[in-house]
Homo-oligomer: A and B are copies of this chain.
Amino acid sequence: MRDDTNKPWRGQSWPRTVSGKSALVEPLPHHISCEALHVNFRANPDAVAHFLPPGLEPLEDGAGWVMIAEMAKVSAHQPEQIWRDPSRSSYNECVLGFYCRYGDRIGRFSALVWVDRDWSLGMGAIFGWGKRLGAIDRTRLQSTNPALAGEDVKLGGTVSRHGHHVLSLSVDLPGGGAPLDAMPGHGGSTFLYRYVASPSPDVPDIEQLFELGFTNVRQTGIRQGAGEIRFGSAPDEELDVLGTVEVTGGFTYQRGWTTDRTARLLQDFSTPGQ
């Protein structure tokens, strides 16, 4: 058998080659930012449990959120990409998440994520985010638009997938909204549930629970108003499980952070006995 020790073989993700140039996901860490609409809600904790993986429990108040944002990503190893190839930097994303408990620690779990670029979807296999492709749109708050010249603004966001309405939200900001210093809610940790099925009876499925922190976090321009959420139905969605949720606030903000491979393993379901 050939000696591959002399063969460099690179790429942060498939497809890998000698150069790593073709990899779907670019070298981590990634610097991320968002221009976000965000609605907090409370649902029935039993419904929340439907979306939480083994090891995580819903909070008693069933707290969760939906965020829809225009995003930007830059691989720390490719700083020129943001202006050379913006189709690999700009993307839209929607996250539906829940606050939850792992033992005595409270944190956040991003249960369902929709993005509109494959390279963002490819992060799902690494970090265990439930990413699928969708069409994600939000109001662009461009104040030079004659229709947006007033003080009162109302912004909205929508997600669809394969031609089915997934969800929509709105944030009503009379007078531009009330400025806040920080978002309400539990900062805490972020939990990751990573599952990749095995192609073979010879190896187990990957099934692991992690905790991940972000660095360089910065959040600005938080404004609070009134929020609304509406869930749709689709053959491969199940948001109707949540029923009608109680909205506890609508927000808009900018946020930035750095994502890296620094997660801490909490539990490994793939290795029997661990």
Contacts and interface: CB of A to CB of B under 8 A. Distances in A.
Contact of A164 (B128, B160, B195): B160
Query: Which of the four size classes fits the interface of chain A?
Result: 35 or more
Number of copies: 4
Nearest to A78: B235
Contacts of A133: 118, 133
- The interface residues of chain A, by DSSP majority, are classed as mixed
A55 B192 contact: no
Given A158-B86, A236-B21, A254-B142, A210 B218 contact: no
Contact of A139 (B83, B143, B256): B83
A109 to B, nearest CB: 11
Interface in A27-72: 28, 31-35, 49-51, 53-55, 57, 70-72
A262 B32 CA distance: 38
Contacts of A24: 131-132
A254 B197 contact: no
A216 B13 CA distance: 31
A219 interface: yes
Interface in A190-216: 192-203, 206, 208, 210, 212, 216
Contacts of A202: 210, 263-265
Contacts of A210: 199-200, 202
Interface of A: 1-2, 4, 7, 9, 11-19, 21-25, 28, 31-35, 49-51, 53-55, 57, 70-72, 74, 76, 79-90, 103, 111-113, 118, 121, 124-133, 135, 137-140, 142-149, 154-165, 168, 170, 192-203, 206, 208, 210, 212, 216, 218-220, 235-238, 241, 254-258, 261-265, 268
